Amino acid sequence: MEKDKKKYTIEDIARELGVSKTTVSRALSGKGRIGRETVERVQAFVAERGYRPNVIARGLAQSRTYNLGLVIPMEDTDVSFFKECMGGICEKASEYNYDVIMAIMKEDRLTQLHRLVANHKVDGIILTRATVESGAVRFLKEQGIPFVVIGPSDDLEVMSIDNPNREASRELTALLLMKGLRRLSLIGGNSRHYVTQSRKQGFLDAHRDRGFHADDALIFMEVEDYRKAMWAVNRILLAESDGIVCMDDNISALVLGCLRERGVEVPDRIRLASLYDSHQMEQNLPPVTSLHFDTKELGRNACMEMLRMLGEELLQEPQRLNYQVILRESTK
């Protein structure tokens, strides 16, 4: 009788039945992929001891929220990369019966992140961008909260999931050099972002691999609005650059607008390429040569690594992330 009166947790049930906690949770909730025989075993165990599944679920909720936090930079909420990545994260989280709580924050204001942790609202956190000396990364490490960073990181203690940005940037730049371009310009955004550093390094790698020198005077960083883009474009035209490599689709759109305002034809007067593709790149006039990444898969992979850190048994392994060079009219 004493055994029957015991208040079982999901961990207790999993141990006695020789299955995982995830399996017990799915058997009780009726969600997820699980065999009928296993469901019946768990339900019989619960019924035998006079407990109802929802009571056990409430006990579990005291130690686990089954929520994941997703942190997105406030200045980039309209960027296609983050929208596609978020779609992959939410899709994969749902498969494992987790919900996603989104936090939109400025990089230097971590109040919302502090609140998520202090109020125990999430089991783990996915950061969609890391910067040099990132306050968010430092805070989460101090708190001991499981987290994953989407993007490159030079911190060996941080789990990061990233597209092969450096490799892809090197290949696209190499293709432009093979076309005979020798005075390539590079325009990028915030140089504190690791992804910006990776793409710049790939640009430099391609020049070095072929014995060429990338002119520092033709590399422009911190270009984040139309005014700065126009300043960079004017300098590039004065230097008689024969091609412009933009870090992403937004910068590419800014540069195209500046060139159009100056009456400069692409690709007749100057070639243009982007190190990140989006629907916008295909619809521009002219369509822009770009690097295509499966950003939704990147989000799925990041979520799966987060779930693995939380002790979930993955139904499949994360997919290998790759890229494709899309050649369009802007570099013909």
CA-wise closest residue to 19 among 10, 31, 9: 10
Q: Which helix (H) or strand (E) holds 74?
A: none
Is it the case that residue 258 has pLDDT exceeding 80?
Answer: yes
Confidence of residue 3 (pLDDT cuts 50, 70, 90): very low
Span(s) in the chain for CATH 1.10.260.40: 2-61
pLDDT tens digit sequence for 193-218: 888 999 999 999 999 999 999 999 99
pLDDT of residue 7: 62
**CATH of 67-161+295-321 among 3.40.250.10, 3.40.50.2300, 3.40.50.880, 3.40.50.300:** 3.40.50.2300
Q: How confident is the model at residue 183 (pLDDT cuts 50, 70, 90)?
A: very high
- Tell which CATH classification among 3.40.630.30, 1.10.260.40, 3.30.70.141, 1.10.1740.10 matches the domain 2-61: 1.10.260.40
- Which residue would you say has higher pLDDT here, 134 or 304? 304
Instruction: Over range 132-140, report the average pLDDT.
Output: 76
Averaged pLDDT for residues 139-161: 86
What pLDDT, on the 0 to 100 scale, is given for residue 55? 43
Among candidate residues 153, 162, 157, the one with its CA nearest the CA of residue 142: 157
CATH 3.40.50.2300 domain span(s) along the chain: 67-161+295-321, 165-293
* 112-138 average pLDDT score: 82
| Nearest residue to 134 (alpha-carbon basis) of 124, 147, 120 | 147
Question: What is residue 75's predicted lDDT score, i.e. its pLDDT?
Answer: 65
* Residue 104 Rama label (left phi>0; alpha psi -120 to 50; beta): beta
| CATH number 3.40.50.2300 is the correct assignment for the domain at 165-293 | yes
* Per-residue pLDDT at 56: 47
The candidate with the shortest Cα–Cα distance to 244, out of 224, 222, 218, 268, is: 218
pLDDT of residue 24: 78
Residues 271-289 have a mean pLDDT of 91
18 against 304, higher pLDDT: 304
Residues 4-58 have pLDDT tens digits of: 456 667 777 888 888 887 787 777 766 556 778 888 888 888 777 655 544 445 4
- What is the per-residue pLDDT across 314-331, written as a single tens digit (0 to 9) for each? 888 888 899 999 999 999
Residue 141, burial from CB neighbour count under 10 angstroms (0-12, 13-18, 19+): middle
β 323-326/289-293 pair status = antiparallel
Residue 107 — pLDDT band, cuts 50, 70, 90? low
Residue type for 282, please? E
Copy the structure tokens of residue 7.
Answer: 């208040």
pLDDT tens digits, 212-236: 999 999 999 999 899 999 999 999 9
